[in-house]
Amino acid sequence: MREILKNYKTIIGQIKNYEKEFSKTSKNPKLIAVSKTFEANVVKIVLNLGHRIFGENKVQEALEKWPDLRKEFKNIELHLIGGLQSNKVKQALEIFDVIQTVDREKIALKIRSSLDQAFQKKKHKFFVQVNTGNEIQKSGIKIDETEEFVKWCKEDKNLNVVGLMSIPPINEVSSLHFNILKELSNKCGLEEVSMGMTSDYKEAIQFGSTFLRIGSGIFGERD
Protein backbone atom coordinates (compact mmCIF):
# COMPACT_ATOMS: atom_id res chain seq x y z
CA MET A 1 0.00 0.00 0.00
CA ARG A 2 2.78 2.45 0.92
CA GLU A 3 4.45 1.56 -2.33
CA ILE A 4 1.38 2.45 -4.42
CA LEU A 5 0.96 5.78 -2.64
CA LYS A 6 4.58 6.57 -3.32
CA ASN A 7 4.40 5.43 -6.95
CA TYR A 8 1.30 7.48 -7.60
CA LYS A 9 2.83 10.63 -6.14
CA THR A 10 6.04 10.06 -8.08
CA ILE A 11 4.16 9.68 -11.36
CA ILE A 12 2.06 12.79 -10.73
CA GLY A 13 5.25 14.72 -9.91
CA GLN A 14 7.02 13.45 -13.01
CA ILE A 15 4.09 14.36 -15.24
CA LYS A 16 4.25 17.92 -13.86
CA ASN A 17 8.00 18.07 -14.46
CA TYR A 18 7.68 16.86 -18.04
CA GLU A 19 4.86 19.29 -18.70
CA LYS A 20 7.20 22.08 -17.68
CA GLU A 21 10.09 20.66 -19.65
CA PHE A 22 7.96 20.34 -22.77
CA SER A 23 5.67 23.30 -22.17
CA LYS A 24 5.71 24.24 -25.87
CA THR A 25 4.18 20.95 -27.00
CA SER A 26 2.60 19.43 -23.90
CA LYS A 27 -1.18 19.32 -23.82
CA ASN A 28 -1.47 18.76 -20.05
CA PRO A 29 -2.51 15.13 -20.34
CA LYS A 30 -4.90 13.40 -18.00
CA LEU A 31 -3.73 10.28 -16.24
CA ILE A 32 -5.56 6.99 -16.72
CA ALA A 33 -4.60 4.65 -13.88
CA VAL A 34 -4.58 1.24 -15.56
CA SER A 35 -5.89 -1.12 -12.91
CA LYS A 36 -6.12 -4.35 -14.93
CA THR A 37 -5.29 -7.50 -12.92
CA PHE A 38 -5.38 -5.57 -9.63
CA GLU A 39 -8.12 -6.27 -7.11
CA ALA A 40 -10.67 -3.76 -5.93
CA ASN A 41 -8.90 -3.34 -2.60
CA VAL A 42 -5.74 -2.28 -4.35
CA VAL A 43 -7.60 0.02 -6.74
CA LYS A 44 -9.23 1.69 -3.72
CA ILE A 45 -5.86 2.99 -2.56
CA VAL A 46 -5.74 5.19 -5.65
CA LEU A 47 -9.46 6.04 -5.48
CA ASN A 48 -8.96 7.20 -1.90
CA LEU A 49 -6.35 9.67 -3.13
CA GLY A 50 -9.09 11.27 -5.20
CA HIS A 51 -8.12 9.77 -8.53
CA ARG A 52 -11.13 9.07 -10.76
CA ILE A 53 -9.92 8.07 -14.24
CA PHE A 54 -9.17 4.37 -14.66
CA GLY A 55 -8.49 1.94 -17.45
CA GLU A 56 -9.24 -1.76 -17.83
CA ASN A 57 -8.48 -4.02 -20.77
CA LYS A 58 -11.13 -6.72 -20.28
CA VAL A 59 -14.89 -6.32 -20.18
CA GLN A 60 -15.41 -9.31 -17.89
CA GLU A 61 -12.87 -8.12 -15.34
CA ALA A 62 -14.37 -4.61 -15.34
CA LEU A 63 -17.84 -6.09 -14.73
CA GLU A 64 -16.55 -7.98 -11.72
CA LYS A 65 -14.71 -5.06 -10.20
CA TRP A 66 -16.33 -1.75 -11.02
CA PRO A 67 -20.06 -1.88 -10.20
CA ASP A 68 -19.25 -2.02 -6.47
CA LEU A 69 -16.49 0.57 -6.74
CA ARG A 70 -18.89 2.89 -8.55
CA LYS A 71 -21.33 2.60 -5.66
CA GLU A 72 -18.64 3.61 -3.21
CA PHE A 73 -16.94 6.33 -5.28
CA LYS A 74 -18.73 8.87 -7.47
CA ASN A 75 -17.68 10.44 -10.77
CA ILE A 76 -15.53 7.59 -11.97
CA GLU A 77 -14.52 7.69 -15.63
CA LEU A 78 -13.73 4.20 -16.83
CA HIS A 79 -11.87 3.60 -20.10
CA LEU A 80 -11.74 0.35 -22.05
CA ILE A 81 -8.21 0.12 -23.45
CA GLY A 82 -8.22 -3.52 -24.56
CA GLY A 83 -9.66 -5.17 -27.65
CA LEU A 84 -13.43 -5.49 -27.88
CA GLN A 85 -15.34 -8.48 -29.27
CA SER A 86 -18.78 -7.94 -30.83
CA ASN A 87 -20.53 -10.17 -28.32
CA LYS A 88 -19.23 -8.00 -25.45
CA VAL A 89 -20.21 -4.62 -26.87
CA LYS A 90 -23.47 -4.29 -24.98
CA GLN A 91 -21.85 -5.03 -21.62
CA ALA A 92 -18.89 -2.81 -22.45
CA LEU A 93 -21.21 0.13 -23.07
CA GLU A 94 -22.88 -0.50 -19.72
CA ILE A 95 -19.72 -0.55 -17.63
CA PHE A 96 -17.39 1.81 -19.54
CA ASP A 97 -17.70 5.55 -20.17
CA VAL A 98 -15.02 5.66 -22.81
CA ILE A 99 -14.11 3.00 -25.35
CA GLN A 100 -10.65 3.56 -26.77
CA THR A 101 -10.48 0.54 -29.01
CA VAL A 102 -12.85 1.12 -31.90
CA ASP A 103 -10.67 -0.67 -34.41
CA ARG A 104 -12.92 -2.00 -37.19
CA GLU A 105 -16.16 -1.40 -39.01
CA LYS A 106 -17.91 -4.37 -37.45
CA ILE A 107 -17.36 -3.04 -33.93
CA ALA A 108 -18.51 0.46 -34.84
CA LEU A 109 -21.72 -0.97 -36.32
CA LYS A 110 -22.32 -3.10 -33.26
CA ILE A 111 -21.76 -0.12 -30.97
CA ARG A 112 -24.25 1.90 -33.02
CA SER A 113 -26.95 -0.76 -32.83
CA SER A 114 -26.35 -1.39 -29.11
CA LEU A 115 -26.60 2.33 -28.36
CA ASP A 116 -29.84 2.51 -30.31
CA GLN A 117 -31.28 -0.36 -28.29
CA ALA A 118 -29.95 0.78 -24.93
CA PHE A 119 -32.55 1.54 -22.31
CA GLN A 120 -30.33 3.83 -20.32
CA LYS A 121 -28.85 6.65 -22.38
CA LYS A 122 -25.36 7.55 -21.32
CA LYS A 123 -23.04 9.84 -23.22
CA HIS A 124 -20.07 7.71 -24.24
CA LYS A 125 -16.84 8.84 -25.77
CA PHE A 126 -14.94 6.81 -28.33
CA PHE A 127 -11.39 6.64 -29.59
CA VAL A 128 -10.31 5.01 -32.82
CA GLN A 129 -7.35 2.69 -32.34
CA VAL A 130 -4.66 3.14 -34.98
CA ASN A 131 -2.11 0.50 -35.89
CA THR A 132 0.73 3.01 -36.29
CA GLY A 133 3.31 0.25 -36.53
CA ASN A 134 1.41 -1.53 -39.29
CA GLU A 135 1.84 -4.78 -37.33
CA ILE A 136 0.01 -7.81 -38.68
CA GLN A 137 -0.81 -9.20 -35.25
CA LYS A 138 -1.98 -5.91 -33.80
CA SER A 139 -5.48 -4.53 -34.13
CA GLY A 140 -6.22 -1.02 -35.26
CA ILE A 141 -7.03 0.97 -38.35
CA LYS A 142 -4.26 1.49 -40.89
CA ILE A 143 -2.74 4.96 -40.89
CA ASP A 144 -3.90 5.84 -44.39
CA GLU A 145 -7.46 4.65 -43.73
CA THR A 146 -7.91 6.43 -40.41
CA GLU A 147 -9.25 9.74 -41.66
CA GLU A 148 -11.96 8.08 -43.72
CA PHE A 149 -12.87 5.67 -40.91
CA VAL A 150 -13.17 8.48 -38.35
CA LYS A 151 -15.35 10.46 -40.73
CA TRP A 152 -17.57 7.44 -41.32
CA CYS A 153 -17.92 6.73 -37.58
CA LYS A 154 -18.79 10.33 -36.82
CA GLU A 155 -20.94 11.31 -39.77
CA ASP A 156 -22.53 8.09 -40.97
CA LYS A 157 -22.79 6.30 -37.65
CA ASN A 158 -23.11 9.34 -35.41
CA LEU A 159 -20.57 8.04 -32.87
CA ASN A 160 -18.99 10.52 -30.49
CA VAL A 161 -15.39 9.94 -31.58
CA VAL A 162 -13.15 12.33 -29.65
CA GLY A 163 -9.65 11.02 -30.37
CA LEU A 164 -7.17 8.43 -31.50
CA MET A 165 -5.19 5.87 -29.51
CA SER A 166 -2.27 3.62 -30.31
CA ILE A 167 0.09 1.12 -28.77
CA PRO A 168 3.51 1.45 -30.44
CA PRO A 169 5.42 -1.73 -31.36
CA ILE A 170 7.51 -2.85 -28.39
CA ASN A 171 10.81 -2.90 -30.21
CA GLU A 172 10.61 0.54 -31.78
CA VAL A 173 11.15 4.12 -30.59
CA SER A 174 7.76 5.28 -29.31
CA SER A 175 8.31 8.92 -30.29
CA LEU A 176 8.00 8.11 -33.99
CA HIS A 177 4.58 6.59 -33.38
CA PHE A 178 3.49 9.37 -31.05
CA ASN A 179 4.37 11.90 -33.72
CA ILE A 180 2.37 10.00 -36.34
CA LEU A 181 -0.65 9.69 -34.04
CA LYS A 182 -0.61 13.36 -33.05
CA GLU A 183 -0.41 14.53 -36.66
CA LEU A 184 -3.12 12.12 -37.65
CA SER A 185 -5.48 13.33 -34.93
CA ASN A 186 -4.95 16.92 -36.07
CA LYS A 187 -5.71 15.87 -39.63
CA CYS A 188 -8.91 14.20 -38.44
CA GLY A 189 -9.87 17.28 -36.44
CA LEU A 190 -9.84 15.34 -33.16
CA GLU A 191 -8.89 16.80 -29.77
CA GLU A 192 -7.78 13.75 -27.85
CA VAL A 193 -4.71 11.56 -28.26
CA SER A 194 -4.31 8.53 -26.01
CA MET A 195 -0.66 7.53 -25.91
CA GLY A 196 2.10 6.90 -23.39
CA MET A 197 2.50 4.05 -20.89
CA THR A 198 4.86 3.52 -17.95
CA SER A 199 7.90 3.11 -20.17
CA ASP A 200 7.32 6.03 -22.51
CA TYR A 201 5.02 8.62 -20.97
CA LYS A 202 7.75 11.22 -21.01
CA GLU A 203 7.93 11.11 -24.81
CA ALA A 204 4.14 10.97 -25.00
CA ILE A 205 3.90 14.22 -23.04
CA GLN A 206 6.50 15.77 -25.31
CA PHE A 207 4.48 14.81 -28.38
CA GLY A 208 1.20 16.19 -27.07
CA SER A 209 -0.63 13.25 -25.52
CA THR A 210 -3.90 14.15 -23.81
CA PHE A 211 -4.39 10.79 -22.04
CA LEU A 212 -1.54 8.77 -20.51
CA ARG A 213 -2.29 5.11 -19.71
CA ILE A 214 -0.11 4.11 -16.78
CA GLY A 215 -0.42 0.77 -15.00
CA SER A 216 2.71 -0.84 -13.57
CA GLY A 217 4.24 2.57 -12.79
CA ILE A 218 1.46 3.03 -10.22
CA PHE A 219 0.31 -0.43 -9.14
CA GLY A 220 3.57 -2.32 -9.58
CA GLU A 221 4.45 -5.25 -11.82
CA ARG A 222 1.62 -7.53 -12.93
CA ASP A 223 1.81 -11.32 -12.52
Ligand X SMILES: *Cc1c(COP(=O)(O)O)cnc(C)c1O
Q: Does 30 bind ligand X (CB under 6 A)?
A: no
Distance CA 89, CA 123 (A): 15
Phi and psi (nearest 5°) for 141?
-80, 145
Residues 153/111, Cβ–Cβ less than 8 Å: no
Distance CA 204, CA 181 (A): 10
Binding mask 68-87 for ligand X (x = CB under 6 A): -------------xx-----
Q: Does 65 bind ligand X (CB under 6 A)?
A: no
**Which range binds ligand X by CB under 6 A, 23-31, 119-127, 149-157, 195-203?**
195-203
DSSP letters of 10-69?
Answer: HHHHHHHHHHHHTTTT---PEEEEE-TT--HHHHHHHHTTT--EEEES-HHHHHHHHHHH
Nearer to ligand X, 54 or 115 (CB): 54
Nearer to ligand X, 45 or 197 (CB): 197
Binding mask 129-158 for ligand X (x = CB under 6 A): ------------------------------
Q: Does 4 bind ligand X (CB under 6 A)?
A: no
Distance CA 95, CA 106 (A): 20
Q: How near is the Cβ of 32 to ligand X at its closest, in Å?
A: 8
Q: Site for ligand X (CB under 6 A): how many residues? A: 14
Nearer to ligand X, 115 or 164 (CB): 164
Phi and psi (nearest 5°) for 123?
-90, 95
Q: Does 14 bind ligand X (CB under 6 A)?
A: no
Distance CA 65, CA 42 (A): 11
Q: How near is the Cβ of 150 to ligand X at its closest, in Å?
A: 19
Q: How many CB atoms lie within 10 A of CB 102?
A: 25
Binding mask 167-186 for ligand X (x = CB under 6 A): x-------------------
Beta bridge partners of 56: 80
Q: Does 37 bind ligand X (CB under 6 A)?
A: no
Nearest to 82 by CA among 59, 115, 54, 104: 59
Q: How near is the Cβ of 117 to ligand X at its closest, in Å?
A: 28
Q: Does 166 bind ligand X (CB under 6 A)?
A: no
Q: Which residue is nearest to ligand X (CB)?
A: 215
Binding site for ligand X (CB under 6 A): 34, 36, 57, 81-82, 167, 197-199, 213-217
